[in-house]
């Protein structure tokens, strides 16, 4: 584990010294309830997704405001499958932001006009089962892999949230996700990532 951490730090240092800007995305990887941008307390376990280390997030599959329950009482009764599929994460609207895990990017002041960044999930199974939102004003807006963040947004630092649309299941998605943050500026690229694992549902 120490060797992997050292390699990650060396790559980050090389990116910084060679490019004059460095992508850095963080989650609550030490599980203390906050994302640390001022220090390095969330850096050591950025690439961990075990039972003991690494950031965790939740399946946001409740029924805020009884939207789904009311659907069952309105008009013709929906099928069991339709009712079972109805929850807070069944579309691209964030209805219960208190169940999101926060993601933050470290501000990058030294960027030129035209620089842009993306936040993406490459694994198809994970991408299908997670939602990433960006904070704009008072709203949480769904963010797909191809969304481009502007120079100004990257300089200020991104405020993001992530939740899951399902829990991990035997023989299916294992609940792990690797979130990639990539910054492009004048033909140069800096990339970073952070891992999270969905928490099990306790019954």
Q: Residue 67 domain-assigned? A: no
How far apart are the C-alpha atoms of 150 and 23, rounded to whole Å?
A: 14
Q: Residue 78 domain-assigned? A: no
How far apart are the C-alpha atoms of 104 and 25, rounded to whole Å?
A: 6
- The pLDDT value given to residue 7: 53
Per-residue pLDDT of the chain (203 residues; tens, 9 = 90+): 444 455 555 555 544 445 689 999 999 999 999 999 999 999 999 999 998 899 999 988 777 777 777 777 776 777 766 666 777 777 888 988 999 999 999 999 999 999 999 999 999 999 999 999 999 999 999 999 999 999 999 999 999 999 999 888 888 899 999 999 999 999 999 999 999 999 987 65
Q: What HEC string does the chain produce?
A: CHHHHHHHHHHHHHHHHHHCCCCCEECCCCCCCCCCCCCCCCCCCCCCCCCCCCEEECECCCCHHHHHHHHHHCCCCCCHHHHHHCCCCCCCCCCCHHHCEEEEECCCCCCCCCCEEEEEECCHHHHHHEEEEEEECCEEEECCCCCCECHHHHHHCCEEEEEECCCCCCCCCCCEEEEEEEEEECCEEEEEEEEEEECCCCC
How far apart are the C-alpha atoms of 162 and 119, rounded to whole Å?
A: 11
Per the structure, the complete domain to which residue 46 belongs is given by 25-60+100-198
Q: Residue 14 domain-assigned? A: no
- The pLDDT value given to residue 203: 55
Termini Cα distance of the chain: 33
Q: Residue 159 domain-assigned? A: yes
Q: Residue 77 domain-assigned? A: no
CATH number at 191 reads: 2.60.40.1700
- The pLDDT value given to residue 18: 57
- The pLDDT value given to residue 17: 46
How many distinct structural domains can be found in the chain? 1
Q: Residue 87 domain-assigned? A: no
- The pLDDT value given to residue 1: 43
Q: Residue 1 domain-assigned? A: no
Q: Residue 116 domain-assigned? A: yes
- The pLDDT value given to residue 19: 67
């Amino acid at each position: 584990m120490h060797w992997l951490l050292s390699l990650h730090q060396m790559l980050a240092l090389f990116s910084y010294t060679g490019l004059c800007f460095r992508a850095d995305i963080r989650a609550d990887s030490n599980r203390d309830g906050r994302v640390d941008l001022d220090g390095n307390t969330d850096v050591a376990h950025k690439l961990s997704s075990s039972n003991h280390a690494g950031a965790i997030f939740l399946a946001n599959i409740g029924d805020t405001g009884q939207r789904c329950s009311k659907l069952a009482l309105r008009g013709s009764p929906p099928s069991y499958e339709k009712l079972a599929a109805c929850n807070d994460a069944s579309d691209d609207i964030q209805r219960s932001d208190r169940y999101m895990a926060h993601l933050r990017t470290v501000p990058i002041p030294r960027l030129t006009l035209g620089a842009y960044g993306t936040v993406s999930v490459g694994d198809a199974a994970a991408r299908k089962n997670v939602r990433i939102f960006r904070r704009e004003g008072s709203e949480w807006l769904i963010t797909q892999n191809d969304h481009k963040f502007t120079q100004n947004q990257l300089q200020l630092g991104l405020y993001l949230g992530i939740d899951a649309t399902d829990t991990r299941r035997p023989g299916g998605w294992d609940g792990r996700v690797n979130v990639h943050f990539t910054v492009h500026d004048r033909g140069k690229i800096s990339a970073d990532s952070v891992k999270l694992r969905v928490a099990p549902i306790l019954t």
